[in-house]
């Protein structure tokens, strides 16, 4: 009972009573998060990047690492030293039902959905000039 | 640590903003107090707490449910505080503080005055004066009422080391209180 810290809890409670994380501060955190979350929108990404990813899936399902090496070969450097971003984008494309994924033996394989295939086909048909509309198409279709 | 109200679904990235909002509603005052116990300055503590929750947002995908969300949050918070205390910026402030000590001035430090007003109780201020490694274990054990095993998990410090530090902290505090009487 001879513990000098015995009363510490009450003592600190009283002294720190005025120390509170304000709503203003909380909103500042939320604001920062919202800004960071803009990369969760497709229009944040370059059209070329989207195109490269979808094209890499054209010849069948691939897992993330495969996609990443194939992008690297295409000189797509958006994810260089930031591979986590690739998975964020893949997840986003999945949410928009442009790609889908399957777990096979502890690995997640991504493949194009019918919708995704349509996009790839449509911009190949229209040629690279129309490429800029890909983003728009994807946004529009997923509203 | 029974308050596990927050259902974390890490697969839902769009939901993270909401999760951080919940985390802040539940724990931001606790985190602020914790941070203050390290940095002893209100504005700095608020800035760091803000950064800590942003860090949580970035790391939420790595939360593995093996520990409670509060343990996870505290670990991030404490690492962030220690990084700050090691930082060049902080050392610079400390250095200029020391210079101020040698210059007689009436307005000394506004911040310090606020702290001493905040910390009216002599026990709190005695603990706040302890070196950080003793202050840390005293705060977590007596204020947060965490077990040494849990503190070990949060701080990464060996349990026996914590035990020794706590013992040492008690001795330091006793001596201090004796002197004051």
Segment A31-50 shows an average pLDDT of: 77
To the nearest whole angstrom, how far is the Cα of B46 from the nearest Cα of chain A?
Answer: 7
Q: How far is CA A37 from CA A85, B41, B159, in A?
A: 12, 31, 39
Residues of B within 8 A of A91 (CB-CB) are 13
pLDDT score for A74: 85
Nearest CA in chain A to B52: A29
A137 min Cα distance to partner chain B (Å): 21
Q: What are the CA-CA distances from residue B110 to residues B90, B114, B129 (Å)?
A: 17, 6, 18
Domain definitions of chain A by residue range: 42-141
A49-78 burial, b at 16+ Cβ within 10 Å, e below that, comes to bbbbbbbbbeeebbbbeebbebbeeeebee
Specify which of A18-27, A122-131, B87-96, B113-122 reaches the highest per-range mean pLDDT. A18-27
Looking at this predicted complex, what is its ipTM?
0.77
Averages of pLDDT over runs of 10 residues in chain B (181 residues) are: 50 72 95 96 95 92 83 96 88 66 49 48 86 95 95 95 96 83 59
Which of the residues B33, B55, B136, B170 would you substitute to probe the A interface, choosing the one with the greatest number of A C-beta atoms within 10 Å?
B33
Asked if A12's CB is within 8 angstroms of B124's CB, the reply is yes
- Are B68 and B1 within 8 A, CB to CB? yes
Under an 8 A CB cutoff, do A14 and B121 touch? yes
Among chain A, residues having any CB pair with chain B shorter than 8 Å are 3-5, 7-9, 11-16, 18-22, 25-26, 28-30, 32-34, 36-37, 40, 88, 91-92, 95
**Residue with tokens 């690279």, as numbered in its chain:** A128
Mutate to test the interface with B, among A8, A18, A84, A86 (most CBs of B within 10 A): A8
**Whether B82 contacts B107, CB under 8 Å:** no
Contact at CB, A33 and B54, closer than 8 angstroms? yes
The Cα-based distances of B138 to A10, A12, A27, B130, B174 in angstroms read 13, 11, 32, 9, 13
Rounded Cα gap, residues B136 and B69, in angstroms: 20
Contacts of B138 in chain A (CB under 8 A): 5, 8
Predicted pLDDT at B106: 45
The confidence band for A47, taking pLDDT boundaries of 50, 70 and 90, is confident
Q: At A88, is the pLDDT very low, low, confident or very high (cuts 50, 70, 90)?
A: confident
- Return the residue matching tokens 């501060």: A25
Q: What is the mean pLDDT of residues A31-52?
A: 78
Rounded CA gap, B120 and A16, in Å? 10
Q: For all residues of chain B together, what is the average pLDDT?
A: 82
pLDDT at B136: 96
Q: What is the pLDDT of residue B114?
A: 45
Give me the domains of chain B, ranges plus CATH numbers: 1-86 (1.10.1740.10), 119-181 (1.10.10.10)
Q: Any idea which fold A42-141 has?
A: Arc Repressor Mutant, subunit A (1.10.10)
CA count, 13 A, side-chain hemisphere, A131: 13
Tokens of B175: 């001596």
Residue A65 has pLDDT above 50, yes or no: yes
Between CA A68 and CA A86 the distance in angstroms is: 8
Cβ(A57)–Cβ(A64) below 8 Å: no
Report whether A67 contacts A99 (CB < 8 A).
no
Task: Give the pTM.
Answer: 0.64
String of DSSP letters for A116-143: HHHHHHHHHHH-GGGGGHHHHHHHHHT-
């Amino acid at each position: 009972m001879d513990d000098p810290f015995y009363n510490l809890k009450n003592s600190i409670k009283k002294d720190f009573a005025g120390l509170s994380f304000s709503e203003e501060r909380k909103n500042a955190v939320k604001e920062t998060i919202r800004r960071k979350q803009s990369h969760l929108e497709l229009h944040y990404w370059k059209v070329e990047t989207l195109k490269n990813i979808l094209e890499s899936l054209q010849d069948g399902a691939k897992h993330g690492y495969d996609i990443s090496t194939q992008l690297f070969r295409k000189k797509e450097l958006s994810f260089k030293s930031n591979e986590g971003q690739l998975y964020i984008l893949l997840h986003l494309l999945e949410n928009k039902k442009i790609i889908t994924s399957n777990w096979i033996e502890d690995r997640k394989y991504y493949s194009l959905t019918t919708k995704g295939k349509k996009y790839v086909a449509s911009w190949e048909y229209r040629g690279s000039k129309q490429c800029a509309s890909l983003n728009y198409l994807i946004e529009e279709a997923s509203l | 640590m029974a308050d596990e109200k927050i259902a974390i679904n890490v697969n839902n990235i769009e939901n993270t903003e909401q999760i951080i909002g919940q985390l802040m509603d539940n724990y931001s005052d606790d985190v602020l107090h914790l941070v203050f116990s390290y940095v002893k300055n209100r504005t700095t503590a608020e800035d760091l707490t803000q950064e800590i929750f942003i860090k949580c947002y970035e790391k939420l995908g790595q939360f593995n449910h093996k520990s409670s969300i509060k343990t996870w949050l505290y670990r991030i918070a404490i690492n962030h505080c220690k990084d700050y205390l090691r930082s060049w910026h902080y050392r610079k402030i400390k250095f200029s503080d020391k210079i101020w000590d040698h210059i007689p001035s009436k307005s000394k430090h506004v911040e310090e005055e606020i702290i001493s007003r905040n910390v009216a109780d002599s026990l709190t201020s005695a603990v706040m004066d302890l070196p950080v490694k003793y202050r840390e274990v005293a705060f977590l054990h007596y204020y947060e009422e965490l077990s040494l095993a849990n503190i070990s998990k949060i701080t990464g410090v060996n349990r026996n080391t914590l035990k020794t530090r706590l013992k040492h902290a008690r001795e330091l505090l006793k001596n201090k209180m004796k002197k004051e009487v």
